[in-house]
Chain A
Amino acid sequence: MSPLPRIFVTTLAVMAVIAVVGLIYFPRLLPDTTRIPVLVPITGFLSLEGTSQRNGAELALRDSGVAFDVDDTGTAPETAVNAFERALASGRDGENVIAVVAPMLGTQMLALVPLADEFDVPMVTVSGTARITELGSPNVFRFFPGDVVVKAAHARYAVEELGAKRPAVIFQTTAYGQSGRAELDRNLTALGAPPVFAEGLDVTVKDMLPVLSKAQDSGADALLLHLHAGPTALVIRQARTMGLDIPIIAGSAMHQPETAALLEPRELDGVCAESGASPISESDPAMRAFVEQYRDAFDREPDAFALAQYDGVQMVLRAFELGARTAANVRDWLSTQKHEGLAMTYASDGKGNMAHSAVILCYAGDSRVPAIVKRYENLTGVL
């Protein structure tokens, strides 16, 4: 076999050098691009909710003219920090990041707040962890109602609408669970119905009979849950098996269609839950259009996390449309303006809490689609 002609080898070498140099310098030659990085936990224990968060952001950003890319933050704070630094600092010359969709995992958000302040870029999130908006950062904007809002609705519905006087509370031992439990305790006590029983559960607990039998023995007349999706379904199933005949008002994990799918409609009969929203329960045309668009795009049902993140990104895009071209412009807009989203009206309370309303939804026992039975608007008085 004859060796390759020298001219051919030389041409290949020159092309390789041009390609390498081009790869290094090409991004710098691009025109300015406006970009919103989407940093969400799509693997790990929060991946169900994180996937909803990603989908909501992605649906809003499609066809928006704003570039975006999705990075998985997993569950470790350092993974989120690395993703954030990659998104904002490395090799992105010529790009204009006007906001970041930040992970809903509270521990990751707490690690990202100093970085957001350092890079001076607003973060739009649906994290429920109360502390993220208590650090004094001007760059955190939470579009999902925090525990202060939803637990007020949770407690009020149990006491004012169902007449509970001796509620029992079962919560998760995670930071999420303890934050919600504290708010439930505070609200129930303020309403004159302090919990007669409260117990925390690890997320790995499988058999719920022990905790439910103790709740029953306490003489509780209502059961309030603040648990993740799987444990919520386990408690409801076990309560039905043991014939526990008191109202169950679950936390927002219950509103997720994936949670309802774990139970038979008859097991859901009479179960209620709090949530920021329930897209599949709404009949409003704009909401129906969102639900259809979401189903077409992702082949699943949207939940309140997806909707809240969609609304949050839409508010950023609205600011961009109206001339906010820098991160500082967008932050100012988010801090000072109201936004009519699909789920509710959003406005900052001065700390970055944008959502102030909640709904209570209940299942009738004949389907897995709940009906909204009560709306609690503007619980914080901000709007």
Chain B
Amino acid sequence: MLGAQLALNAVALGAAYALVAIGFVLVLNATTAVNFAHGESVVAGGFAAVALTGALVTLLPAGNAIPGIVLLPGVLALTALLGLAIAALAYLPIRNRPPVSVFVTTIAFGIIVTNGLNAAFGAAPRAAPALLGTGTIEFLGLTASRQSLPIIATAALLIGALAFVLQRTQLGRQFRACAQDPEMARALGIRLTRITLLAFALGTAFAGAAGLLLAHQFFVTPSDGAGLILKAYIAVVIGGWGSLRGATIGAMLIAFFEVGVASFSSQPLAEGLLYVAVLLVLLIRPDGIFGEPQRVRA
């Protein structure tokens, strides 16, 4: 029964990580640039939920709590705006410079976000409201946090909606065209800047959603961004640079190591084994599980 419990926890954690990794890949595909402020965008999502709770709770009668699911649209909107700011300030002005310039500007933007959140909210860990309710529920002999199942459902819904947009809509086709060949896409009349801005907004909104999902159960502090960007990066390396499906698989694998492997070894060993797995993937499939050779991007 413990195994099932661990599996549930791993899937819930992996679902939230998958949102982070997918947001990262969206920007990567649209710009071929790595957005190192992505981890801070997750953190910003968590703090957006904390701030919105503080603002809304004053409108309710005393003693009433606000479920996190109510905050989700607001968090998505606020972090999408943050994504536009990252694009406008840290990417578009230097998009024709070498990629390392974007590394530096997005790292700088991330530091500004971290210190801004530190100044605004303080350094203490904060908790966002639960999506639907707190405590535990029992089913099939498992004792699960009330947050776990809504995390999985919300992540699945968002990822499904994104897959639908990318595969079934004209906008999605434009996204994919820009990911595969930006110059040709521009020649065909696709407005590359508009797609870039949309990618940053959408990718950062996904990061914000992950922040909301993680910030109740696992809390959020201004300095969490560095660890999260590392996880997104590893997920993308495992899954394949630029593959949304690969990013999801990579995120699930990270969660499996963090929860599953750690349960029968030790946490430091599990972390070491994760990096061994990354090296093995790179040795056997240098482009990741769903990487470039298959041309399955977006």
Contacts and interface: CB of A to CB of B under 8 A. Distances in A.
Interface of A: 42-45, 47-48, 50-51, 173, 199-207, 209-211, 213-214, 229-230, 233-234, 241-243, 256, 258-259, 261-262, 264, 300
Given A229-B124, A242-B143, A243-B143, A206 B214 contact: yes
Nearest to B222: A47
A207 B254 CA distance: 12
B218 A206 contact: yes
B259 interface: yes
A213 B2 contact: yes
A173 B268 CA distance: 8
Given A202-B267, A206-B214, A47 B123 contact: yes
Contacts of A229: 124-125
A67 B31 CA distance: 51
B267 A201 contact: yes
Given A47-B223, A205-B258, A230-B219, A210 B263 contact: yes
Contacts of A300: 122
Contacts of B13: 206-207
Contacts of A242: 5, 143
B174 interface: no
Interface in B34-74: none
Most buried by A among B124, B143, B260, B271: B124
A50 to B, nearest CB: 8
30 contacts: A43-B114, A43-B115, A47-B123, A47-B222, A173-B268, A199-B266, A200-B268, A201-B267, A205-B267, A206-B13, A207-B258, A207-B259, A209-B259, A210-B6, A210-B259, A213-B263, A214-B263, A229-B124, A229-B125, A233-B125, A234-B218, A234-B219, A241-B136, A241-B143, A256-B124, A258-B125, A259-B125, A262-B125, A264-B134, A300-B122
B116 to A, nearest CB: 11
A201 B271 CA distance: 10
A301 B52 CA distance: 23
A200 B267 contact: yes
B152 interface: no
A241 B145 contact: yes
A211 B262 contact: yes
A95 to B, nearest CB: 29
Nearest to B262: A210
Contacts of B115: 43
Nearest to B266: A199
A331 B271 CA distance: 46
A52 B145 CA distance: 33
Contacts of A48: 122-125, 221
A66 B209 CA distance: 49
B2 A207 contact: no
A151 B262 CA distance: 27
B127 interface: yes
A82 B214 CA distance: 37
A199 B217 CA distance: 22
B258 A47 contact: no
Interface string B1-30: 010011001100100000000000000000
B267 A211 contact: yes
Contacts of A173: 268
Interface string B218-238: 110111100100000000000
Given A43-B118, A241-B136, A262-B219, A210 B125 contact: no
A84 to B, nearest CB: 21
B140 to A, nearest CB: 16
Interface in B246-263: 255, 258-260, 262-263
A293 to B, nearest CB: 19
Nearest to B115: A43
Nearest to B259: A207
Contacts of B127: 262
Interface in B117-145: 118, 122-127, 134, 136, 143, 145
Given A42-B123, A207-B258, 14 more contacts: A42-B118, A47-B118, A202-B271, A204-B224, A207-B259, A209-B6, A209-B263, A210-B267, A214-B263, A229-B124, A233-B125, A241-B136, A259-B125, A300-B122
B145 A44 contact: no
A-B pairs, 5 with minimum CB distance: A47-B123, A258-B124, A210-B263, A204-B227, A48-B123
Contacts of A47: 118, 123, 222-223
Nearest to A209: B9
Contacts of B6: 209-210, 213
A147 to B, nearest CB: 21
Contacts of B268: 173, 200, 202
Contacts of B223: 44-45, 47
A244 B228 CA distance: 29
A213 B5 CA distance: 11
Contacts of A51: 122-123
A134 B214 CA distance: 41
